[in-house]
Amino acid sequence: MSAFVAFPQALLSEVALPLPCVDEYELRAPLLKAYVDDAMLDLTQKERLIPAGAEDMMLNNHHQHIRFMGAALRLRSPALFSMTIPWVYRAYRNHGFSYDYFARALSVWKQSLQACLQDVSASAILPIYDWILSHHQDWIQLAESGDDHDIVVPLADRQEELLEILLAGQHRSALEIMRREVIAPETVAPFYSGVLQPVLYEIGSRWQSGKVSVAEEHVASAIVARMMASMPFVTAPCRAREPMRAIVSTAQQETHELGAWMISDLLHLKQDWDVQYVGADAPIADLIALAEKTRPALIALSVTMIFHIPRIGRLVDELRRRDTLSQTRILVGGQAFAMVPDLWRATHADAFASDIDAALKQTEKWLRDAA
Distance CA 35, CA 13 (A): 27
CATH entry, 9-145, from 1.10.1530.10, 3.90.180.10, 1.10.490.20, 1.10.10.10: 1.10.490.20
The predicted pLDDT at position 241 comes to: 66
- Could you give phi then psi for residue 330, rounded to 5 degrees? -120, 125
The predicted pLDDT at position 208 comes to: 78
Distance CA 333, CA 73 (A): 21
List the chain domain ranges: 9-145, 157-229, 244-370
Strand-by-strand arrangement of the 244-250 sheet: 273-279, 244-250, 298-302, 329-333, 351-353
Query: Mean pLDDT, 10 residues at a time, over the chain (371 residues)?
Result: 74 96 97 98 94 95 96 93 92 94 98 98 98 96 71 79 96 95 94 94 86 91 95 75 89 91 92 90 93 96 92 94 94 91 92 94 91 73
Q: How far is CA 317 from CA 47, 120, 309, in A?
A: 47, 29, 12
| Helical packing angle, 214-229 and 157-167, nearest 10° | 110
Residues facing residue 330 across a β-bridge: 299
The predicted pLDDT at position 370 comes to: 81
- Could you give phi then psi for residue 118, rounded to 5 degrees? -65, 155
Cβ atoms of 6 and 82 within 8 Å: the answer is: yes
Cβ atoms of 300 and 333 within 8 Å: the answer is: yes
Selection from 371, 332, 369, 370 nearest residue 354 by Cα:
332
Distance CA 247, CA 237 (A): 16
Distance CA 158, CA 180 (A): 11
- Tens-place pLDDT, residues 236-292: 765 656 789 999 999 988 999 999 999 999 999 887 899 999 989 889 999 999 999
Distance CA 251, CA 13 (A): 26
Selection from 201, 299, 207 nearest residue 250 by Cα:
299
How is domain 244-370 classified at the CATH fold level? Answer: Rossmann fold (3.40.50)
CATH number 1.20.120.530 is the correct assignment for the domain at 157-229: no
Classify strands 298-302 and 351-353 as parallel, antiparallel or unpaired.
unpaired
The predicted pLDDT at position 151 comes to: 47
The predicted pLDDT at position 154 comes to: 80
The predicted pLDDT at position 149 comes to: 43
- Tens-place pLDDT, residues 285-306: 999 999 999 999 999 999 999 9
The amino acid that residue 268 corresponds to is H
Cβ atoms of 97 and 140 within 8 Å: the answer is: no
- Could you give phi then psi for residue 150, rounded to 5 degrees? -80, 140
Three-class DSSP labels, the chain: CCCCCCCCHHHHCCCCCCHHHHHHHHHCHHHHHHHHHHHHHHHHHHCCCCCCCCHHHHHHHHHHHHHHHHHHHHHCCHHHHHHHHHHHHHHHHHCCCCHHHHHHHHHHHHHHHHHHCCHHHHHHHHHHHHHHHHCHHHHHHHHHHCCCCCCCCCCCHHHHHHHHHHHCCCHHHHHHHHHHHCCCHHHHHHHHHHHHHHHHHHHHHHHHCCCCCHHHHHHHHHHHHHHHHCCCCCCCCCCCCCCEEEEEEECCCCCCCHHHHHHHHHHHHCCCEEEEEEECCCCHHHHHHHHHHHCCCEEEEECCCHHHHHHHHHHHHHHHCCHHHCCCEEEEECHHHCCCCCHHHHHCCCEEECCHHHHHHHHHHHHHHHC
Distance CA 148, CA 4 (A): 9
